[in-house]
Amino acid sequence: MSEHLRPDILGRLRTSRDAEERARAAQQLCSQVTDSEAIERHGEQNPLYVELNTRLVKLLNPASDILDRLAGTAILLALVDVDSLEDKQKFRITQQTKTQLAGSEMAISNEAVAIYKKLIEKRWASVMSSVETEVNRCLEWLGSERNEVRRMTALRVIEVLCSNHLVPLHSYLTKFFATLSNPLRDQRSEIRVAAARTLGACMGLIPMSERNVRNPGLNFLYEELQRNFQMASVEGYH
CA distance 51 to 45: 10
Q: In angstroms, what CA-CA distances link 117 with 121, 147, 175?
A: 6, 22, 22
Residue 36 backbone dihedrals phi, psi, to 5 degrees: -70, -35
pLDDT band at 216 (very low <50, low <70, confident <90, very high): low
Average pLDDT over residues 20-32: 94
Residues 6+ apart with CB under 8 A from 10: 25, 29, 55
pLDDT in tens, 127-148: 999 999 999 999 999 988 688 9
Q: Are 116 and 157 in contact (CB under 8 A)?
A: yes
CA distance 228 to 208: 26
Q: Are 195 and 183 in contact (CB under 8 A)?
A: yes
Q: What is the pTM of this model?
A: 0.86
In the predicted structure, residue 79 carries a pLDDT above the cut 90: yes
Residue 206 backbone dihedrals phi, psi, to 5 degrees: -80, 120
pLDDT in tens, 96-130: 999 999 999 999 999 999 999 999 999 999 999 99
C-alpha dihedral sign at 135, 136, 138, 139: positive
